[in-house]
Amino acid sequence: MVKSVKFVLRYAMVVLVIGILWKMLAVSLGGIILPNPEDAMGAFIAAMGTQLFWEHFFVSAYRAVTAMAIAWFIAFPLGLIMGSVKRVDNLLAPFVFLTYPIPKIVLLPVFLLLLGLGDAAKIAMIALILGYQILVTTRDGVRSIHPKYYDSVRSLGGSRWDILREVLLPAALPHGFTALRLGTGVAVAVLFFVESFATTRGLGYMIMDAWGAMDYLTMFSGILGMSLMGAALYEIANLMERKACKWMFLRGK
């Protein structure tokens, strides 16, 4: 109960500070290009009462969640293997680190040509960008394990499964979930970009369509909706980390 109250108060304080700064900036700009926060919030609440808003919201949420799941279930095991199996790492690491700095978003036209204009190209784009972050972070986390931990399990007669369960996973999971949690912002940012063209659904489309029509209140409704979705995804990833890595949070209880 106390944690729930602290959670609500934390977000309420952040919203209050942002609202004050927003109000000051809106007043200085005349409240036309940047509407007052109370007007934008009123429009957002009104939009939430429409079916069209939730259609855009759930389409965007489906794309983001699906991409994050694909990225996790491919990149985390691969990072685990690369970090623990030297031969695999020697084979794949040069490819990963040579392609990692390349801005993947420039490949979106290629994805659209190969996978079409539907959800597949957009999901694949987000999954690719987020997957690299999870892969590299997980691989580095496993490689940082001190050899004494392997020796301790082997000296007790532990098998490869025991090493995986008692050494590799406890070391890799926090790194993987940290990358996933921090990657929610990247996922939502990429989502906005891929939804800004070649689609008629999603919050990104809603924002750009309203911007083109100079309907700034609707535009900010989409921005607030995407911000809400990003915060929800972050907290879900945070909750998953707490469930999967309980030993990390025992000290704080």
The amino acid at residue 110 is: V
Q: CB 208: neighbour CB atoms within 10 A?
A: 18
Q: Where are the domains of the chain?
A: 1-33, 35-248
pLDDT of 237 higher than 50: yes
Looking up tokens 């699906």 gives 66
Determine which of 197-206, 208-217, 242-251 has the lowest per-residue pLDDT on average: 242-251
User: Helix, strand or coil for residue 54?
Assistant: helix
pLDDT reported for residue 53: 92
Q: What region, left, alpha or beta, does residue 180 occupy, with left being phi > 0 and alpha being psi -120 to 50 degrees?
A: alpha
> What would the two tokens of residue 18 be?
């942002």
Superfamily name and number for 35-248: MetI-like (1.10.3720.10)
State how far the Cα of 92 lies from the Cα of 78, in Å rounded to an integer: 10
Q: What is the pLDDT of residues 156-165, one digit of tens each?
A: 776 677 777 7
User: Helix, strand or coil for residue 95?
Assistant: helix
Nearest CA among 187, 170, 173 for reference residue 123: 187
More confident of the two residues 136 and 14? 136
Nearest CA among 19, 130, 17 for reference residue 72: 130
pLDDT reported for residue 252: 47
Across 128-147, b (16+ Cβ under 10 Å) vs e yields bbbbbbbbbbbbebbeebee
pLDDT reported for residue 161: 77
Determine which of 67-81, 91-105, 139-153 has the lowest per-residue pLDDT on average: 139-153
> What would the two tokens of residue 200 be?
């008629």
- The rounded percent of the chain whose pLDDT value lies above 90 is 23
pLDDT of 253 higher than 50: no
